[in-house]
Amino acid sequence: MEVLIRLLALLAVLLVGAGLRSSGVLDDERTEWLNAAAYYGALPALIFVSTYDQAIGELLSVRLLGGLMAVLFATAAIAWLIHRERSSTARRSVAVVQSYHSNLGYLGLPLVAATFGADVTAVASVILGVVSLVQVPLTVLILVVMNDADAAIAGELTGLIKNPVLLSLFVGLAVGSSGIVVPGTVAVGLDAVGSLALPLALLCVGASLQVDASSIDFGATGSVIGLKIVCMPVLAWIVFSTLAVDPATFTASVVMLGTPTAVSTYVFATELGGDREFASLNVFGTTLVSVATLFVLITLIG
């Protein structure tokens, strides 16, 4: 019951964000402020406090890396097969990338941190870094190739390297592996800032949702939802059960890969020739339905 209440609270904050956008309280400028606060402040703080006292050798293993890549590319391959007959290339490219591109930073890691212990959160932070380094370039590449988009892939990759989320992960792991002691007051302060990551992210997600009822393709959107928040976590469950990883790694992997489609895919689709309305609808659909699927996942794992 506690998990359900927690997830319903997340949905409530998400809907509040959508309501504030509809009423004009959260316009584009204010949404950007909130987004910047979450992206450059709260989320990096959460990642750092989750990893600064962990040695990288204790978190990143061959099994974890291999399992993550297996699930990611298997889901992408299945999505490619299922969506290959879509008549619109712009819609087909978006359907493929949104079937595997997870919302690990804004929803996954904060949700794990709010639900599980520090050991699971530390592994989730590493998963965020590893998968982001792969799924972002893969998404850009698919959209560019399928839509013949004119994009500077090198620029996208450079931006990824400068990503504050990844930088905070590397700094946290470096501090943990080197044995540097972080003062208690600093750790407490960063922990307080990091606790704001989830509510800020949910408000931003809600404020960024754009849904046009007249353009809904239930079949295509249903396929994306099924692949992203049902097929992908099921694959993760099978793969990491087979690899016999430790409980913290199993929990973090299944929950993180069971998160909805990342909001950033809407931005990528808009910039790289994808169907932006379809992309927005899929973000909304996967986020909404994930409240139920994540409840099931967390309950089963717990």
Q: Exposure string (b/e) for 251-266, b if CB count within 10 Å is 16 or more?
A: bbbbbbbbbbbbbbbb
131: left (phi over 0), alpha (psi -120 to 50) or beta: alpha
The four Cα atoms 240, 62, 261, 27 give a dihedral, to 10 degrees, of 140
pLDDT of 66 strictly over 70? yes
Q: Which two tokens stand for residue 67?
A: 């399992």
Angle, CA of 115, 118 and 121, to the nearest 5° = 65
Q: pTM, whole model, 2 decimals?
A: 0.77
- Strand, coil or helix: 102: strand
Of 105-119, 159-173, 175-189, the least confident: 159-173
- The answer to whether domain 2-301 has CATH 3.40.630.30 is no
pLDDT in tens, 255-299: 999 999 987 787 778 777 888 778 878 888 898 898 889 989 998
- Domain definitions of the chain by residue range: 2-301
